[in-house]
Structure 1
Amino acid sequence: MRLSVRNVSWSAGSTRILRDVSLDVAQGEFLGIIGPNGSGKTSLLALLSGIRRPQIGEILLDGAPLAGFGRRTVARCIALVEQQAETTEHITARQAVELGRTPYLDALSPWSAVDATIVDAALQAVDMAHLADRFWHTLSGGERQRVHVARALAQEPKILLLDEPTNHLDIGHQIALLDLVRQQRLTVVAALHDLNHASMFCDRIAVLRGGTLLTIGAPQNVLTPSLISEVFGVDAVIEDHGAEGCAIRFRPDGAPCRPHRAT
């Protein structure tokens, strides 16, 4: 399932957040979105999910305007994992993941053993099955983040949108989570802060700056020292690892990178 953005602009009050953004996300692609804080990454994901509508331009789902689909239909196609999503409800981790089945439930299709199996598999996938009966308010930030991803997987979407999905996770769970997402064979759009993660897991990377799409392309073509300096204001050394992507090392204030010394 494909997503397309056509000449989209969006403002919050008098502040223009996104300016004439156009891009296509191919079926099965893992597209990373990078850029400084305030560049419009979260706003673009909200538009792609249908939570917000562009004031100019349109979002297309398989070539048809997203605005023309019903909310239940969109929810069966697109799942969004937000950067901050909390609840005051007294629910368990399992109950939070069960919310992902909502688009499939109605009077004619009540909760079934199939739904329970899908929820169990989602919890297992993010390594949260052993904490399924823990109450939400007792979970750590990282555990809550994994529950959010499980809820999205339980939704059985064709397209998965992730806004800083590795927030609050330790390095092991960061890598495991992104690898899990890549293995789902979904169309994925993820806003990422870690450029090395973007290089490792993304087929292409889109760079936003000041609400404008600066460039889009394969990681090795986008993640260059000149672009990193221009967009993020830091010097970097790029080590090309071929099919495994590239490794990026940053230099504070233009200082030379010191060689690694074995101990």
Structure 2
Amino acid sequence: MNAIRATLRLQFHRDFTLDDARALVDDFAALGVSHLYASPLQASRQGSMHGYDGVDPTRIDDEVGGEAALVSLVAALRARGMGLILDIVPNHLAVGGSENPWWQSVLTWGEQSPYGAFFDIDWHSPDPTLAGKLLAPFLGAPYAETLESGELALGFDAAGFHVAYHEHCFPIDPRHYGDILRFAEHNALHEQAAFFDALAQAPNPCSQAPAALSQLERVLEDPGAQASLASALALFEATSEHGATRLHALLSRQHYRLAFWR
């Protein structure tokens, strides 16, 4: 490792990329800089201007150029006898939204998630309302008020069932998909409900759920099934008393408890 004589701190983002820094290496060397000190380079929230809201520590952010651009910058630095210092802050991860797959997995599966131990979560809180649950204080108003306003919307996409709230996406545990699918008046969707119910007894439901979801997506290629699912989702619209009751019952079975941010 080269001796550190002088560092230059660079803040990387979509408007100043690794390639932009590589073009300036000769200028930095002329100033006597021995090492560049880089802001976090791991994948962060889309449009992040600082990189401290990481969403995937296993890859270099595409917005700053990705791994190829990092390799190119390091090669240019080494050619001038210079080094690179990376700012790595493990506890600076973005939660909320839907871009962090580790966080979404924890919301989906709770303590059984492969990433359940990656976060500092007290799964055994003395608060009985949080036993085995994660407190998720992302709501802009008290829970009951938010529920009745209709701002919590049950939906379905390629990742599965979820409750959307502004930019946030709170996933539904696949073991409870049957609680939704049974409201669909379509035989194939009823059959799918049984497959998801079976996950509750599966030895490793996290690994088996993707196959069941793929099968559900194939069923939903049928326009009739799509229409039936849309009708079922409408029954969970919380602007009606029965819809609010259904959505609350579904949310109460998840591994998180939504709460007012205060």
Mark yes or no: TM-score above 0.5: no
TM-score (norm 1): 0.24
Q: Which has the higher contact order (CA 8 A, sep 6+)?
A: 1
TM-score (norm 2): 0.24
Point out the structure with the larger strand share.
1
Please say which structure displays the higher CA radius of gyration: 2
